[in-house]
Structure 1
Amino acid sequence: MGTVTKLSWRVEGMDCASCVAKVTRAIERLPGVTEVEVNLMAERLSASLATGGTTAEAVVKQVEILGYTATALTGPAPAPSPPAHDHAHHDHDHDHDHDHDHAPHAHGQHDDSPADAEKPWWATGKAKLVWLLGGLVLGAYALSLLLPKNLTYPLFLAATLVALVPFGRRALALARVGSPFSIETLMVTAAAGATVIGAAEEAAVVVLLFAVGELLENVAAGRARAGIRALASLMPRVALRLGADGVSETIPADRLAIGDLVLIRPGDRVPCDGVIEDGTSALDESPVTGESIPIARGPGEPVVAGSINADGALRVRVARAATDNTIARIIRMVEDATASRAPTQRFIERFSEYWTPGAMVVALLVILVPPFALGWDWWTSLYRGLAVLLIACPCALVISVPAAMASGLSAGARRGLLVKGGAALEQLGAARTVAFDKTGTLTDGKPRVTEVLAAPGYSAESVLALAAGVEQGSAHPLAKAILAEVLARGIAVPAAEGQAAIPGQAVLATIAGQRISIGSPRHAAEAGVTLGNLAPDLARLEGEGKTVAIALIDGALLGLIALRDEPRADARDGVAALAALGIRSVMLTGDNQRTGTAIAESLCLEVKAELRPDDKLREIARLRAQGPVVMVGDGINDAPALAAASVGVAMGGGTDVALETADAAVLKDRVTGVADLVSLSRATMTNVKQNVAVAVGLKAVFLVTTLAGITGLWPAILADTGATVLVTLNALRLLRWVPR
C-alpha cells in the first residue's frame, strides 16, 4: 500500500461558501486524493495525496482551471504580521520539497490574482470587470436616447459578450470537474437565451448585476478576513532580546525562540508568551482576553503575547515560539472554526444541491407548458422561463449561514470569546441548562488555608508538613493553598514517595514509612475513620462554607485542614445574566453538601455536591435528557464533563487547556462571559434566520411577479444579487456585536 502525504495550499479568489464547495468537489474527483478540506477564511486547501496518484502540480492545475490561484504552503511559516495578507502562520511542515513552477494565471475566469490581495477592492480584477461592464451599459443607454435601437443594440450585445466569455469559460470548467449546476451555468444560460430572443439590453444588465454581486461577495469575504487579521495586529513587529552580557538587540518578533530573554519596557506590547524572570508591572490584557482591568504580574507569573505593559520594565523568558503563541493559536482557532459547519449550514448546502437542478426543470416547464396550457406565445414563455432560471440562483441562500457564522465567530474572538465552530456556536444559544464546576470556575480557584486542627498527639505544624509532602508537585488549587501556607509558616516539607491519586477523592503518598492520605470527608467516612472530638468542628467549618481536607496517617485521623475559596466577584452577576436569558444554572462539585450549599445560596443557583468524576458524567447525561447542556469548567480536571456536555466551555485566561480542551473558551476568565457566549449565539442565529428569510422571501416575491409578467430578466437577477447584498451586509453587522 502506497504512502499518503498531507499537503496544503493557499487558494486565493474564494469569496463564498459556493466557492468552497466547487473547489472541494473538483479536488475530491482527482484519483488518490482524500481528506480534502477547504477553509474559506484561511484561504487554505488541505488534502492527502497517495503515492503514485495525483501529484501536487495536478491539484494546483485543477484549482486554477476553476479560476482561482493556488500556492503551495511548505515548512514552518513565520508568525502573522499586521500588513501581510498571509494566513500561513500554520505549521505546514511535510518533510517534502514542493518547489513548483506555476504558470501565470491566464484563465481569467475569476478575475483574481495574488496581487489583488494587497489592493483596495475598487482596484481588483473583479472591480475592473464591473467598471468595464458598467461603462458599456451606461454608455449604451445614454446613446439609446439619441440614436435608433438598431445602432445601440450592438453595444448592449458587446457588454453581454464581454462578461459571458469569462463567466462561460468558468461554467464549462465547473461542469468538467463535477459542478454542472453552478450559479455561472444558470446565469450564462439565461443571458445567452436573452440575446437569442432579442433582449440584449436586459441580458447586459443581468451580467452587470451578476458581476456586481461577485464583487460584493469578494468585499464581504475581505471584511470577514480583516476581522481575523486584526488579531494579528496585536503582535508587535520587533522585540528587544537580551544577550548573555545583558545588552539588548532589536530583532523581528517572529524570530524569538523558546528560552530567549526579552526586555519589555513600559508601554511596550508583549511580543511573546513567556514567564517573568525579573520585574513587576501591571499588564493590560484587554486586547487578548477582553479583561478591562490591568493585572499585576511579577516574577514567576505568565505573560500573554499581545498584552500591553503598563508601568514597570519586565524581563521575560520566552515560553512559546511565535507560531504557537496565544495570538497565533487564537487566529488559527477562529480560522478553523469558520470551516466547521453548523447543522443549519449543512442543511442549507444539501438543500441547494437539489434546488438548482430542480429550478432548471421548473424553468423548462415554464417554457414548454404554458404555450399549450395557458395560451402564452413562445417568446413570452421562453422569456419568463429564463427569468425563473435567474431567480433560482442559490447564491444568497448558500451564503446566508456561513456569512453570519464567520462574523459571529470573529466578533466573539475580538472580545475574548472563542468558539470552535458553527456547530458549537449554534448549540450555545439553544442551551436550557448551564452546569458550572465550582473550584476555579465559580470561585477564584485560589483558596487559602484558614484553620488547621490536629488530632490528639499531633500538632498543626506536623499536619501541614505531612500534607505538603503528599501534595508537593500537584497543580490542584487546594494543593497549592497547602503548600503556600507551609511556605508562609517556614515549615520544612518532608520527602514523599509512591504518590498516587484516587480521582475526585484523595491523594496518597508514603512519608518516613507511613502512608499519608489527604482527601474529602466522604473518603474518610468510606475508609471507616471516625473523627472523634473533631466531628463538631467539621460540621462548623462546612457550615461556614469552607472546604475541609481530612489528613489520615496509616488509616487513622491526623487532622483537619480548612480552606476557603471565595466566589468570583462577578459570579453572582453571571448567574443572574443567565437567568435573565431563561437559562437554569446548577453547580456540580465534589465538595461536601454543606460547603456546596453555602456557595450556591450566595450565588442563587442550584447545587449537586459530593460528586465524583463519574457522578458528574451521570449528572450531565441526566441534564441532557431535558435539553442542551453547557458545561463550564477550568479546562484542567473537568475534561470528561466538558466532553459529555452539548457544549463544553473552558474558563482559563488563554491557557493551553482552555484553548484546546473544550468547544469554547472565555479568555477574560469571567463568569459573565458564559452569558455573553449565549447572547452571541442567539444574535448569530437570529441573523441567520433573517438572512434565510431575505434570501427565500425575495426569490418567492420575484417568482410570482415574473410568472405574472410584472417583472423581467434584470429584476430576476436582482432578486439574487440584491439578496446577496442584503444578506452580506446583515451578516457584517455582527462584527459590531458587543456583550450587553
Structure 2
Amino acid sequence: MATEAYKIRVEGMDCASCALKIETAMQRLPGVADVRVNYSAGTLALQLDQDRTPPQIIEEQLRSLGYQPLAAASSPNSVPAVRERSPWWKDAKLRSILITAAMFVLAFALSQIVPPHERWFYSAAAVVSLIPIARRALMGAVAGAPFSIETLMTVAAIGAVMIGEAEEAAVVIVLFNVGEWLETFAAGRARAGIEALIEVVPRTAWRLRGGSGEVEEVPAADLKIGDVVVVRAGDRIPSDGKVIEGRSDVNEAPITGESVPVAKAIGDQVYAGSINANGELRIETTSAAADNTIARIIHLVEQAQESKAPTERMIDRLSRWYTPAAMLVALLVIIVPPLGFGEDWSTWIYRGLATLLIACPCALVISTPAAIASGLAVGARKGLLIKGGAVLETLGKVKTVAFDKTGTLTLGQPQVTDVVAVVGQDDAVLARAAAVEGNTSHPIGQAIVRAAKARGLQLPVVFGGSQAVPGKAISARFKDGFACVGSPRFAAERTTIPPELATTISSLEHEGKTVVVLISGKTCEGVIALRDEPRPDAAGAMQQLTSKGIAVVMLTGDNARTARAIAGQLGMESRAELLPDAKLAEISRLKDVSPVAMVGDGINDAPALAAASVGIAMGGGTDVALETADAVLLNDRTRGVVELIALSQATLGNIWQNISIALGLKAVFLATSLLGVTTLWMAILADTGATVLVTANALRLLRWRASES
C-alpha cells in the first residue's frame, strides 16, 4: 500500500473531545494510517492511500462531524501561516449562540402572550435548537464515536422535553453553545502562543539585485539560498543566514529567549526573526523560508503537540468507557428509585438527566492536553524546545542529570586562566606569546591571541612569520632574536626550567590546565595556563539542581585530572576517560535506578542521549541540535536544564490541578443532583464551568517565567 503524508487544517476543532472524535472517524477509513490530531494547532495529519480514500472523502467526513476543513498544506513541512481571524459575525459557534438565544427569547415572548401553550413554544424552541447538535451526535455515532458530548446533550434535552421541562431544555442548549464558544476562545488563546513565533519573521525583505548594488523589496517567503539581503538597524532579519558585511548587535530573543543582544560580524550566523539593534548588515541567505530556524521550531512544536503524553493516553482510555458508564449510572438513577422504592418517576427522570449532563467528560478530557499545549508553547517562546508531551512529563520525574563536559558544562574552547612571568611583566609575556601565535589555527594559540586582544596589548613585530614544530611548539623571530611557545616537555628539551617555575607548572597542571612555556633563546620568560572553563551559569545550575534533590554527574572522555578539576569547581561528581560505549553503559546503569536526563552537544553524545530517559542537546539554534535529542536548549545555557525541569514540574502540577477541578466539581454536583438540588441548567453550567476553569488554569502556564524555577 503506497501512502503519502497528508495534512489539513480544521476549523471548529477546539477541544480534546473533538480531537478524539475526529481521530476515531479517520481510523475507520480505508487507506488511512498514523492519524495525528492536534487540536491546539487545529490540524489533522495522517498517512493516506489516495487510491482507497481520496482527500475529498476526508473533507466530507470532517464536515459531517460538524467541522470545516480548510486548505491542505502543500507539504507537511510547508511554511507555517498565521490563522486568519474572521469577523465575529462569521463565527459559526457564535451564530449558534445567537440563534438558540433568539429561539428561547421568542418562546418566552409567545408564552407571555398565549400562556396555555407555553410548553409547546419552549418545546419547539428546544427541538429546533437541538437539530444541529443531534445531527452531529448521529454522524459521530456512524463514524464510530457514539458516546460523544453531543449524544449526552441530545438524550438529556429530549428527555427534558418529554417530562415537561422544555423551558430548561432550551436553556441547557443555549448554555451548551456558550460553553462550546468559550472552548473556541480558549483554544485561540493557546494557538496565539505559537502564532506569536510565526509573526516575528518579517513578511518582506530588502534583497540586493544582482551585482548592481540596488535593493528591491520582496516577500520574505520568496528568498532563496544564496540571496543577499540588507538589514537596517531596527529591522528584523528575514531569513537564516551568514553576515558577509557589517557589524552589529542582534537580539535573538525570539529564538533563544535571551534578551541580551549578541555581537555579530562577518562570518557569524544569524537567525530569522532576530532584531538588528544598530549597524547595517548584509546577510547571505542560508535557508529557504520553510527551513529557517523559526519554521523548524514551529513544526517541531506542532509535532510535539500531536504526540500524546502518558497521562493524556490514560485519560483517553478512561474516557472511552467513562461516558457509557455515566449513561448507565444515569439510567440506574432513573429506574432504581421508582422500581425499587416506589419513588416518583418524573422526579427521578429529572435527576437522572441532570446526572447525565454533569457526567459530560469534556473538562476531564481537556485537563491534560490543554496543560501540555501551553507548556510546549511557553517553552518554545523561552528557548526551551521540548519534543512531545511524554518528554515534558518525564522531565519532571528525573532524579539524575548527567552532563557531557566539553561544550556543555564548559564553553567548548580554551581560555587563558593564568600568566606567570619569570622575566618582565605578565602582559609582556602574553603579548610576545600572542605575536608568536599570531597566524596559528591551533585552539591554544587562538586563545592566547584572544586574551591579548581582550587586554588591549600592543604585540611586538614578528619578522618572517612563524614556524611550527608539529606537536611541540611554534617559533617566530623578533627584533631581539627568536622566541617560541611550546609544551613544558619541549621547554625542558631546550633549556633548564627553574625549580620554582617547574613547581608552578606542576600546580597548574594539577588543576586540570594546559600549560605552555614562552622561551627566548635559552631563557624561560614565563608560562601561560589555559583551560576550557565552565560556562558562567554552570555552577549556579548545578546548585539549583541539587537543591531540588536531583543528582548531577559529569560523564566525559577527557582525562581524570581535568575532569576532577572542573567537577570540583562545579560541585559535582565526575566519571572520566569514558569512550562512547562506556558513557552509554553508565547512562543505562543510572536509568535502571531512576529516570535520568543526559545533556550533551547532540552529535558526539548521540548514543547516550538516545539511551537516557530524556536526551537534552545544547543547541544555540544549530541544525543538528534541532533534529537531535528529546529537548533542545536554544539559549545554549546550562541553566536551561533547570528551567526545563521547572517547566515540566509546573505543567505536571497544572495537570493534576485540572484533573482535581474536573472530578471535584462533578462529584459535588453529582451529590446535589441526587439530592434534588441541582437543576438541568445548573448541571450543564457546572460542566461548562469546569471546562472553562480547566482551560483557564492551563492558560496560566502561558505566563510561566523561568524565574519561577
What band does the TM-score fall into relative to the shorter chain?
Answer: 0.7 to 0.9
In the alignment, the residues of structure 2 paired with residue 413 and residue 120 of structure 1 have an alpha-carbon distance, to the nearest angstrom, of 29
Letter in 2 for 1:74: S
In the alignment, the residues of structure 1 paired with residue 75 and residue 300 of structure 2 have an alpha-carbon distance, to the nearest angstrom, of 20
Matches within 5 A, 1:697-716: 697-716=664-683
In the alignment, the residues of structure 2 paired with residue 539 and residue 593 of structure 1 have an alpha-carbon distance, to the nearest angstrom, of 16
Q: State the 1:581 CA deviation.
A: 2.3
Q: Secondary structure at the match of 2:147?
A: coil
Retained in 2: the 8 A contact 1:67–1:170? Answer: yes
Letter in 2 for 1:204: A
User: Counterpart in 1 of 2:600?
Assistant: 633
User: Counterpart in 2 of 1:322?
Assistant: 289
In the alignment, the residues of structure 2 paired with residue 57 and residue 30 of structure 1 have an alpha-carbon distance, to the nearest angstrom, of 12
Matches within 5 A, 1:29-68: 29-50=28-49, 52-68=51-67
User: Counterpart in 2 of 1:677?
Assistant: 644
User: Counterpart in 1 of 2:558?
Assistant: 591
Residue 207, structure 1, aligned to residue 206, structure 2: no
In the alignment, the residues of structure 2 paired with residue 291 and residue 385 of structure 1 have an alpha-carbon distance, to the nearest angstrom, of 56
User: Counterpart in 1 of 2:698?
Assistant: 731
In the alignment, the residues of structure 1 paired with residue 692 and residue 560 of structure 2 have an alpha-carbon distance, to the nearest angstrom, of 56
Letter in 1 for 2:33: T
Letter in 2 for 1:321: A
Retained in 1: the 8 A contact 2:36–2:307? Answer: no
Residue-by-residue CA offset, 1:692-731 (whole Å, 9 max, x unaligned): 0011111111111111222122222222111101101111
Residue 386, structure 1, aligned to residue 350, structure 2: no
Residues 120 and 347 of structure 1: CA distance in aligned 2, closer, same or farther (over 3 Å):
farther
Q: State the 1:7 CA deviation.
A: 2.3
Q: State the 1:133 CA deviation.
A: 2.3
User: Counterpart in 2 of 1:119?
Assistant: 86
Q: Secondary structure at the match of 1:235?
A: coil
Retained in 2: the 8 A contact 1:428–1:678? Answer: yes
User: Counterpart in 2 of 1:177?
Assistant: 143
Retained in 1: the 8 A contact 2:110–2:121? Answer: no
Q: Secondary structure at the match of 1:47?
A: strand
TM-score by length of 2: 0.84
Retained in 2: the 8 A contact 1:275–1:303? Answer: yes
Residues 247 and 447 of structure 1: CA distance in aligned 2, closer, same or farther (over 3 Å):
same
Retained in 1: the 8 A contact 2:6–2:75? Answer: no
Identical residues among aligned pairs (%): 56
In the alignment, the residues of structure 2 paired with residue 132 and residue 413 of structure 1 have an alpha-carbon distance, to the nearest angstrom, of 40
In the alignment, the residues of structure 1 paired with residue 272 and residue 189 of structure 2 have an alpha-carbon distance, to the nearest angstrom, of 24
Q: Secondary structure at the match of 2:593?
A: coil
Letter in 1 for 2:44: L
Residues 32 and 652 of structure 1: CA distance in aligned 2, closer, same or farther (over 3 Å):
closer
Residue-by-residue CA offset, 1:634-673 (whole Å, 9 max, x unaligned): 2221111111111111112111122110111111111111
User: Counterpart in 2 of 1:397?
Assistant: 364
Matches within 5 A, 1:239-638: 239-243=205-209, 244-448=211-415, 480-481=443-444, 491=466, 540-546=507-513, 563-638=530-605
In the alignment, the residues of structure 2 paired with residue 119 and residue 52 of structure 1 have an alpha-carbon distance, to the nearest angstrom, of 35
Q: State the 1:5 CA deviation.
A: 3.0
User: Counterpart in 2 of 1:220?
Assistant: 186
Residue-by-residue CA offset, 1:91-132 (whole Å, 9 max, x unaligned): xxxxxxxxxxxxxxxxxxxxxxxxxx5225575110121123
Residue-by-residue CA offset, 1:143-194 (whole Å, 9 max, x unaligned): 76x6675344344323312321100000010111111111100110011110
Letter in 2 for 1:583: I
Deviates more, 1:641-650 or 1:36-45: 36-45
Q: Secondary structure at the match of 1:649?
A: strand
Q: Secondary structure at the match of 1:118?
A: coil
Q: Secondary structure at the match of 2:558?
A: coil
In the alignment, the residues of structure 1 paired with residue 109 and residue 638 of structure 2 have an alpha-carbon distance, to the nearest angstrom, of 63
Q: State the 1:271 CA deviation.
A: 0.8
Q: State the 1:739 CA deviation.
A: 1.0
Residues 236 and 78 of structure 1: CA distance in aligned 2, closer, same or farther (over 3 Å):
farther
User: Counterpart in 2 of 1:456?
Assistant: none
Matches within 5 A, 1:714-725: 714-725=681-692
In the alignment, the residues of structure 2 paired with residue 204 and residue 190 of structure 1 have an alpha-carbon distance, to the nearest angstrom, of 11
Residue-by-residue CA offset, 1:337-377 (whole Å, 9 max, x unaligned): 11111100000010000101111111222222211222212
In the alignment, the residues of structure 2 paired with residue 641 and residue 561 of structure 1 have an alpha-carbon distance, to the nearest angstrom, of 35
In the alignment, the residues of structure 1 paired with residue 685 and residue 76 of structure 2 have an alpha-carbon distance, to the nearest angstrom, of 45
Residue-by-residue CA offset, 1:479-533 (whole Å, 9 max, x unaligned): 755677799996578999xxxxxxxxxxxxxxxxxxxxxxxxxxxxxxxxxxxx9
Residue-by-residue CA offset, 1:553-577 (whole Å, 9 max, x unaligned): xxxxxxx997511111111111122
Retained in 2: the 8 A contact 1:136–1:155? Answer: no
Residues 545 and 709 of structure 1: CA distance in aligned 2, closer, same or farther (over 3 Å):
same
Retained in 2: the 8 A contact 1:542–1:592? Answer: no
In the alignment, the residues of structure 2 paired with residue 29 and residue 536 of structure 1 have an alpha-carbon distance, to the nearest angstrom, of 78
Residue 642, structure 1, aligned to residue 641, structure 2: no
Retained in 2: the 8 A contact 1:397–1:692? Answer: yes
Retained in 1: the 8 A contact 2:77–2:299? Answer: no
The structure whose Rg is larger is 2
Q: Secondary structure at the match of 1:245?
A: coil
Letter in 1 for 2:338: P
Residues 547 and 119 of structure 1: CA distance in aligned 2, closer, same or farther (over 3 Å):
farther
Q: State the 1:140 CA deviation.
A: 5.0
Residues 322 and 595 of structure 1: CA distance in aligned 2, closer, same or farther (over 3 Å):
same
Retained in 2: the 8 A contact 1:404–1:687? Answer: yes
Q: State the 1:73 CA deviation.
A: 2.7
User: Counterpart in 2 of 1:524?
Assistant: none
Letter in 1 for 2:129: A
Retained in 1: the 8 A contact 2:415–2:530? Answer: yes
Retained in 2: the 8 A contact 1:345–1:402? Answer: yes
Retained in 2: the 8 A contact 1:37–1:47? Answer: yes
Residue-by-residue CA offset, 1:175-215 (whole Å, 9 max, x unaligned): 11111111100110011110011001111121111111111
Query: Alignment length, in residue pairs?
Result: 639
In the alignment, the residues of structure 2 paired with residue 54 and residue 494 of structure 1 have an alpha-carbon distance, to the nearest angstrom, of 70
Retained in 2: the 8 A contact 1:78–1:254? Answer: no
State the superposition RMSD in angstroms. 3.0
Matches within 5 A, 1:74-113: 74=74, 79-80=79-80, 84-85=82-83
Residues 226 and 65 of structure 1: CA distance in aligned 2, closer, same or farther (over 3 Å):
same
Residues 495 and 658 of structure 1: CA distance in aligned 2, closer, same or farther (over 3 Å):
same
**Structure 2: segments with no counterpart, 5+ residues:** 420-433, 453-461, 472-498, 517-526
In the alignment, the residues of structure 2 paired with residue 408 and residue 158 of structure 1 have an alpha-carbon distance, to the nearest angstrom, of 45
Letter in 1 for 2:60: K
Q: State the 1:538 CA deviation.
A: 8.6
Residues 492 and 333 of structure 1: CA distance in aligned 2, closer, same or farther (over 3 Å):
farther
User: Counterpart in 1 of 2:483?
Assistant: none
In the alignment, the residues of structure 2 paired with residue 423 and residue 434 of structure 1 have an alpha-carbon distance, to the nearest angstrom, of 18
Retained in 2: the 8 A contact 1:547–1:591? Answer: no
Retained in 1: the 8 A contact 2:7–2:75? Answer: no
Deviates more, 1:729-738 or 1:381-390: 381-390
Q: State the 1:264 CA deviation.
A: 1.2
Residue 695, structure 1, aligned to residue 694, structure 2: no
Deviates more, 1:128-137 or 1:679-688: 128-137
Q: Secondary structure at the match of 2:412?
A: coil
